[in-house]
């Protein structure tokens, strides 16, 4: 088979490894290298064992991510730095990169005054042609010249058929970098920044089935997200431009701290000159999808999960530190007990509850080279309605603490939640990464909290979110050109990305700081945050405070 087709075919597994790891006979296997350090192999399902955590290792199976949506510029200090004399920042010369659902590129929000596009490139991963970007074996790349030419035609999409069926990506790009529309009283945070877009390829059906992702849910694969980040970084290098990445997708799958594969990759991007990364922390604080517990020698912890309706299935992840080893038993709603399951790594253990006709799969993993944490991955297949209890036992412990996560809200077919949930450490992956700006949300109109905004800290104790930005009813044009409101930490991340572009421009043009990176920009923005008089900082809800890029610049001037 043509390797390009293997990328799209549901008959091929996507397995992501470090470039140092190899698969036997890989010379003849279709593969995609990413960032000179990762390799995605496309394996014919008829020639390899069925997909399982025991066979392929959880870290190598792509996780699935979804979108995080659920007066803003002025309160964030952006309007003042756009308009104040001696500043007048607009993101000139800065590229803002989006990896999301696509973009309605015809929208006036993405055009210059002469009608030409401000979009410098689009990589549509979902369109299978031979016009792949350099270094990639799939998707279709459109250049600025091609986009400009399409805009001059009566039917632009006949020439550049990129669409944003969902609208999420279009709204993000408009909030972060939309051109001024005086008639509709709109302007993006960085209205003169260049825009680069990756339309992410939808997750394959076999992977959606493996994780029991709800039919119709927006879902993207981890390996395609890695490829998108690599593409945007390469594009910025090719054009000699600074880059701000806006990441407004997230997941509850995987390590919720700084040790995961994606967190490590993003940390590396943040250390590079003239690069910045803004990540939404998600909207899971009130979803009841996180449990924090602990055991000591001779005790157990009973974790109750309420399944509100019969459903096809769902997964649960238990994460313990490298010093801890736990085991579990499971009790069904009718009282049938799966006794304590011994810890066997690399071997999936299966049990069928006869009265419920429910099958449970349990996989133990004692860490990988990055996170070194224990993972217990539990899959419930055809669970009936009622309270399912997971009893956690200590095998070898120091502090005995653990975190458990249910899937992100958008993935669940029915309502499922922990009876005794914990709203802390509800940051979606990868916002627990150490160096990117993890952006939470607040309600700028009421000056109140946005209760859905993911709360910190990361599971390894890093202060996240770094700060919060407006996330409720943020005014923005949509994919059809009509104006509306967007709620969710996606909007907050977009505002932050625009603010970073302005601050990057100021550092480079005014301070001649050409080695500025995401870590330095984050520290500058943290230094400028507004803090409420009745709160202690940092805290789990707002991190170090509320975004104010104007105050950040004032503070830098006074140093």
Q: Which long-range contacts (CB under 8 A, 24 or more apart) does 460-463 make?
A: 460/257, 460/258, 460/259, 460/432, 462/257, 462/258, 462/432, 462/434, 463/538, 463/543, 463/544
What are the φ/ψ torsions at residue 405 (nearest 5 degrees)?
Answer: -135, 135
The catalytically annotated residue of 490, 496, 518, 548 is 490
- Helices marked H in 467-539 — which ranges? 489-509, 518-527
Q: What is the C-alpha to C-alpha distance for residues 337 and 299, in angstroms, rounded to an integer?
A: 18
Closest CA to 176 of 280, 284, 268: 280
* First-to-last C-alpha distance (Å) of the chain: 61
Q: What is the C-alpha to C-alpha distance for residues 368 and 319, in angstroms, rounded to an integer?
A: 12
The catalytically annotated residue of 14, 69, 100, 363 is 100
Q: 64 and 251 in contact (C-beta within 8 Å)?
A: yes
- The residue whose two tokens read 């503070």 is 555
* Residue 402 CA, distance from chain mean position: 23
CA atoms within 13 A on the CB side of 306: 10
Confirm whether 100 is a catalytic residue.
Answer: yes
- The residue whose two tokens read 């997941």 is 251
Q: 401 and 321 in contact (C-beta within 8 Å)?
A: yes
Residues marked active site are found at 100, 168, 490
């Amino acid at each position: 088979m043509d390797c390009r087709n293997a990328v799209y075919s549901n008959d091929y597994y996507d397995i992501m490894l470090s470039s140092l790891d190899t698969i036997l006979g890989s010379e003849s296997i279709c593969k995609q290298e990413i960032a000179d350090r990762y390799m995605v192999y496309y394996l014919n399902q008829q020639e390899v064992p069925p997909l399982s955590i025991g066979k392929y290792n959880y870290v190598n199976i792509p996780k699935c991510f979804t979108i995080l949506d659920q007066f803003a510029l002025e309160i964030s200090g952006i309007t003042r730095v756009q308009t104040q004399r001696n500043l007048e920042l607009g993101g000139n010369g800065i590229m803002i990169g989006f990896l999301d659902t696509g973009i309605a590129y015809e929208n006036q929000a993405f055009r210059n005054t002469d009608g030409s596009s401000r979009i410098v490139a689009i990589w549509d991963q979902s369109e299978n042609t031979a016009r792949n970007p350099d270094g990639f074996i799939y998707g279709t790349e459109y250049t600025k010249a091609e986009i400009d030419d399409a805009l001059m035609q009566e039917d632009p999409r006949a020439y550049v058929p990129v669409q944003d069926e969902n609208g999420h990506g279009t709204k993000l790009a408009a909030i972060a970098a939309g051109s001024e529309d005086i008639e509709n009283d709109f302007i993006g945070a960085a209205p003169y920044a260049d825009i680069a877009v990756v339309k992410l390829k939808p997750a394959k059906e076999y992977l959606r089935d493996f994780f029991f992702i709800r039919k119709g849910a927006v879902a993207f694969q981890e390996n395609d997200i890695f490829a998108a980040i690599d593409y945007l970084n390469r594009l910025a290098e090719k054009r000699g431009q600074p880059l701000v990445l806006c990441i407004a997708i997230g997941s509850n799958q995987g390590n919720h701290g700084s040790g995961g594969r994606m967190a490590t990759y993003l940390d590396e991007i943040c250390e590079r000159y003239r690069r910045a990364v803004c990540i939404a922390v998600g909207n899971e604080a009130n979803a009841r999808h996180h449990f924090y517990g602990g055991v000591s020698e001779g005790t157990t912890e009973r974790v109750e999960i309420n399944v509100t309706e019969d459903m096809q299935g769902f997964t649960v992840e238990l994460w313990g530190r490298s010093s801890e080893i736990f085991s579990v038993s499971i009790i069904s709603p009718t009282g049938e007990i799966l006794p304590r399951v011994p810890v066997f790594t690399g071997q999936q253990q299966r049990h069928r509850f006869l009265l419920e006709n429910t099958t449970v799969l349990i996989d133990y993993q004692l860490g990988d080279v990055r996170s070194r944490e224990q993972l217990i991955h539990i899959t419930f297949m055809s669970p009936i309605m009622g309270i399912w209890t997971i009893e956690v036992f200590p095998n070898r412990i120091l502090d005995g603490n653990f975190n458990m996560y249910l899937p992100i809200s958008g993935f669940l077919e029915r309502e499922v939640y922990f009876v005794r949930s914990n709203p802390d450490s509800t940051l979606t992956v990868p916002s627990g990464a150490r160096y990117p700006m993890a952006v939470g949300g607040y309600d700028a109109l009421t000056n109140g909290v946005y209760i859905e905004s993911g709360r910190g800290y990361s599971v390894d104790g890093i202060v996240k979110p770094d700060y919060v930005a407006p996330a409720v009813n943020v005014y923005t044009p949509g994919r059809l050109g009509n104006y509306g409101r967007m709620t969710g930490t996606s909007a907050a991340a977009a505002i932050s990305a625009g603010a970073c572009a302005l601050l990057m421009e100021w550092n480079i043009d005014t301070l001649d700081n050409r080695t500025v990176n995401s870590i330095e920009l984050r520290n500058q923005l943290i230094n400028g945050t507004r803090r409420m008089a009745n709160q202690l900082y940092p805290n789990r809800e707002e991190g170090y405070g509320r975004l104010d890029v104007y105050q950040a610049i004032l503070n830098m001037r006074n140093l």
